[in-house]
Structure 1
């Protein structure tokens, strides 16, 4: 794994970001910070009424973790785009790991393949980003 942008080649893998287990407190704090108070993320009764065993994390929380992975690598102003597709839910108590791999380099801009994966191997989010090297 490489952390310096001058050493980047196609196939370079950024150091992964593994976050603490998603707690109910994390969900409540993210709801407040983001303004997303959808009760499916914080109210166990609502989750049960929807046929779920428990609440689950906001998809945008995983996006925020991916952004943190990128900004641990480069300054924020170098990020040109970041998009994702939510492919599975992140249950409460899950431990997400964010990863990024360089798939292309064109005129000083790298394209990265992004993913968030849980400890059991479930991929919850996929996406891509473009980042200026300088």
Structure 2
């Protein structure tokens, strides 16, 4: 099914999501709980990613469309707040997924057996990258 499924195919399905937002020292400052769902979009050419989490007790809902762009996999995240985020993704040699959003990036890993996964989000701080969110995923 093409590049999109080659990169995100292992993520397909429903996940229980948990983790933390981290401060500049890498210490947890807010809990993250909820769910992520990855499913085929119309015609199987897109993946639709539904985010329904709580961060520090505040609801965060996002609809993300993942498809092929001019330079690989393109992700468009539509936030409930009205914000739009665009990023790109590619698979790394170790099988993990690197998502690059300019001032933020993530490394997303699915464990062997596909029953769990993790993601480390980083954000730019000047010229450096600092840990921002540490997430864990368990299949539902």
TM-score w.r.t. the length of structure 1 is 0.31
Pick 1 or 2: higher relative contact order, CA cutoff 8 A, min separation 6: 1
TM-score normalized by the length of structure 2:
0.30
Larger strand percent:
2
> Could you say which structure has the higher helix fraction?
1
